[in-house]
Amino acid sequence: MDIWQPCLRYPDPAIETLDPSFARYRVFSASVERLATGFRWAEGPVWFGGGRFLLWSDIPNDRMMRWDETDGSVSVFRQGNYANGNTRDRQGRLITCEHGGRRVVRTEHDGTITILADRFEGKRLNSPNDVVVKSDGSIWFTDPPFGLLSHYEGTIAPQELNANVYRIDGHSGAITIVTDDVLGPNGLAFSPDEHRLYMVESRGVPNRKIRVFDVEDDIRLTNGRLFVDAGPGGTPDGIRCDTDGNVWAGWGMGSPDLDGVMIFNPSGAPIGRIALPERCANICFGGRMRNRLFMAASHSLYALYVNAQGAAGG
């Protein structure tokens, strides 16, 4: 039974201030909206401002969906290859991680598909999970084996490579490993100045974590360290940064009280929370001013206007 109902009064109690510094990011007369529902596992939202639409993945249904801001319509964008994380490059082209194809692809402006990465040193990638694009055109993606573990979000197959994090050079297309010591690398996001890369360690022991790395010479990661320990039941997944350097993280699954989005300041302190009735897998900023937070959460797509703007590259 569908028990979710929008809040009819302001302020929406689903938006929680955990630290006074979060107050500036709240819009008093904005509430959580559910834009669409009926999916099996919503993931990888990405905003296209020129067309005023959002794309996201519905992984077990092996399809990508499209929501149109102009009329609220929802349609199938395309099917096949168990798409997961998505982003756009600096030329406005769609970049997609595919479990089924075990690859990262780019959708050209004419709709054709270019394979950017499907092997490393002759071995097949596992199941590329999430992806970001740096201002120099390089593409950074995580490659855990999650899509190889069942026929639900991919196809059962042997794992040929460790769960690495890769960089695709924006000019040569060369693929390099930027780190190999993250247990279950998942969501990732650059800080606004691109000097740091945040990454979710979804198989962290004893708890999931968000780690942060320094980006050295624009091509490698150093000084990996803890940014947030999610604690018992905490399950960060997809993450994005705003222009002030705060980290917004999809969250949940361990307990209904944790489902939604957590917001951390650049020091890793929790400052805010957006409660949802479902676990939130991934997020992105969009809308005309990049101040609308879109949340892909299990069976549904949600949105909330905030007084923050998404950093470029997410």
At 272, is the secondary structure helix, strand, or coil? Answer: strand
Q: How far apart are CA 261 and CA 246, in angstroms?
A: 13
Q: Is the preceding peptide bond at 256 cis, omega within 30 degrees of 0?
A: no
Q: Is 143 a catalytic residue?
A: no
In whole angstroms, give the CA distance from residue 173 to residue 63: 27
Question: What single-letter amino acid sits at 176?
Answer: T
The catalytic position among 12, 237, 242, 259 is 237
Please check if 86 is assigned to a binding site: no
Residue 186 known to bind ligand: yes
Query: What does the alpha-carbon distance between residue 61 and residue 70 come to, in Å, rounded to a whole number?
Result: 25
Tokens 């519905």 — which residue?
Answer: 58
- The answer to whether the annotation marks 257 as part of a ligand binding site is no
Which residue is listed with tokens 């938006």?
A: 15
Q: Using alpha carbons, select from 197, 199, 166 the residue that is nearest to residue 184.
A: 199
* Residues 204, 224 contacting (CB under 8 angstroms): no
Is 121 annotated among the ligand-binding residues? no
E strands of 180-313, at which residues? Answer: 185-190, 196-201, 209-216, 220-229, 239-241, 247-251, 260-264, 270-275, 282-286, 292-305
Q: What is the DSSP string of 97-151?
A: EETTTTEEEEE-TTS-EEEEESEETTEE------EEE-TTS-EEEE--SGGGS-S
For residue 8, give both structure tokens: 């009819």
CA gap 133, 25 in Å, rounded: 25
- The residues assigned a catalytic role are 237
Residues in the annotated binding site for substrate: 129
Residues in the annotated binding site for a divalent metal cation: 43, 186, 237
